[in-house]
Amino acid sequence: MTDRMSLTLAQADPLVAAALEQETLRQHEGLEMIASENFVSEAVLEAAGSVFTNKYAEGYPGRRYYGGCEFADIVENLVRDRARQLFGGEHINAQPHSGSQANASAYAAVLQPGDTILGLDLAHGGHLTHGHRLSFSGKLYRPTFYHVRRDTEQIDYDELEAVAEKEKPKAIIGGASAYPRLWDFARMRQVADKVGAIYIFDMAHIAGLVAGGVHPSPVPHAHITTTTTHKTLRGPRAGLIICTQDLAQAVDKAVFPGQQGGPLVHVVAAKAVALGEALRPEFRAYATQIVANCKALAEAMSEAGFRLVSGGTDNHLILVDVFQKGILGSEAELALGKAGVTVNKNSIPWDTNPPLKPSGIRVGTPALTTRGMKEPEMRQIAVWIAKALEMRNDDAVLERIRGEVAELANQFPLYAWRRPPVAVHAY
Ligand SMILES: *Cc1c(COP(=O)(O)O)cnc(C)c1O
């Protein structure tokens, strides 16, 4: 047993090792433009891959249901302290395994099954956990929705208010997965107060922008703020909850034992590392560059003749209406994939096409900004995207772009210990 315990991954399990190797090369050689993805630092990777994975730590720092939690307490307290420093807020729950579980816990803390919730429609940029019928949120609670305006394609706060007055939700949920504009947190809180609702804001996509000071913060306005830690915040795949002190106990109980068992202590440790990084001045520069890159990308795409939903962007992502050029989002995703650019198909507001063949693609800059790319690279990438979409049925052209993409990617190496060969790797 001891012998097997000391084998490397390659020795112990060649199949998994090979998949990991291929994934590493894929991440190096392509241009990662999925708006919800990022590359964590070596330090975050090290913590996430650490022996903390061996530890049970049910409960909270200082009151655990297991012995030997003194070091688990240290990393969890670091998450709480650093998140408070970074975002303000009175109480932090560091344990949600994911953004969805953070939301499930936030709802459970303040709602009863059957209560009405009001969230942004998925088809208009919202998230599954904001009331979609296939999600726990749409089954356990009574979902109602607000939308974006047809003319501006920005949140229709008047409609939100009207629906809130009619439906009297117990919670109003803000936040989105595919919304390129800023939010009016004060207006949402005003509506929540008017109808006696709890205001929950899910800042999963924009947490890193908020941390970096380039996006207003929902924390002073919301009763509960939830987030993922792996998107613009550039931490491990996990969640976090920030709330006012009066809700602290309810939130903590909702996470454990309400929704989860033991925390993933290795992931909690990695969250501490990522939050430490986000507190450093370099992170402000990073967040600023994400937005600058996105603006450059938006301008270049517009110049190439593409219509952007809402006409542009204030944050880290754009929604491109490719159907305006007669291209389906699914076709675009496939063609760009062949060209080495990873994006996802996405519905656009008031889409006339179905979700699996929608009218748009969502394109984001957080991951490429981590690699050190700036405005000139974004303009070059827009040229490639436009070309790949135009020539989407010509595999030779797509393959040629893929080579150029790999060359650019190689100029912005990712993990030093995994620098790929300069030639394009066939897989
Ligand atoms: C990504 C996302 C989530 C869910 O995060 P998971 O960690 O995948 O569960 C929740 N809300 C919003 C707005 C998101 O964008």
Query: What pLDDT, in 10s, does the model give residues 81-95?
Result: 999 999 999 999 999
* Cβ contact 367:37 at 8 Å: yes
- Asked whether residue 306 is assigned to any structural domain, the reply reads yes
Averaged over 345-360, what is the pLDDT?
A: 96
Same structural domain, 201 and 267: yes
Same structural domain, 199 and 326: no
Helix (H, G, I), strand (E, B) or coil at 410: helix
Query: What is the spatial distance between Cα 350 and Cα 310, in angstroms, rounded to a whole number?
Result: 12
From the CA of 228, how far away is ligand 1's center (Å)? 6
Number of domains, the chain: 2
- Asked whether residue 12 is assigned to any structural domain, the reply reads no
Annotated active-site residue 228? The verdict is yes
Last residue of a domain, one of 278, 294, 316: 278
Annotated active-site residue 46? The verdict is no
Pocket of ligand 1 (CB under 6 A): 36, 98-100, 103, 127, 129, 175-177, 202, 204-205, 228, 239
- Residues 306-329 pLDDT 10s: 999 999 999 999 999 999 999 999
Q: Of these residues, 55, 231, 362, 371, which one is catalytic?
A: 231
Q: Is 106 exposed, middle or buried (0-12, 13-18, 19+ CB in 10 A)?
A: buried
Mean predicted lDDT score pLDDT of the chain: 95
- Asked whether residue 127 is assigned to any structural domain, the reply reads yes
Residue nearest (by alpha carbon) to ligand 1 atom 15? 177
Same structural domain, 407 and 305: yes
Same structural domain, 289 and 230: no
- Asked whether residue 13 is assigned to any structural domain, the reply reads no
Same structural domain, 272 and 285: no
Residue 164: CB partners within 8 Å, gap ≥ 6?
118, 172, 191, 192, 194, 195, 197
The ligand 1 atom nearest the CA atom of 100? 9
- Asked whether residue 14 is assigned to any structural domain, the reply reads no
Same structural domain, 265 and 375: no
Residue whose tokens read 């040629």: 400
Mutate to test the pocket of ligand 1, among 100, 121, 240 (most ligand atoms within 8 A of CB): 100
- Asked whether residue 245 is assigned to any structural domain, the reply reads yes
Same structural domain, 72 and 191: yes
Annotated active-site residue 199? The verdict is no
360-364 sheet: strands from edge to edge: 307-308, 317-321, 360-364, 344-346
- Asked whether residue 18 is assigned to any structural domain, the reply reads no
Q: What DSSP string describes 308-352?
A: EGGGS-SSSEEEEEGGGGT--HHHHHHHHHHTTEE-EEE--TT-S
- Asked whether residue 16 is assigned to any structural domain, the reply reads no
pTM of the model: 0.95
The ligand 1 atom nearest the CA atom of 231? 1
Q: What band does 385 get if pLDDT is binned at 50, 70 and 90? A: very high
Same structural domain, 349 and 316: yes
Range(s) of the domain holding residue 363: 281-427
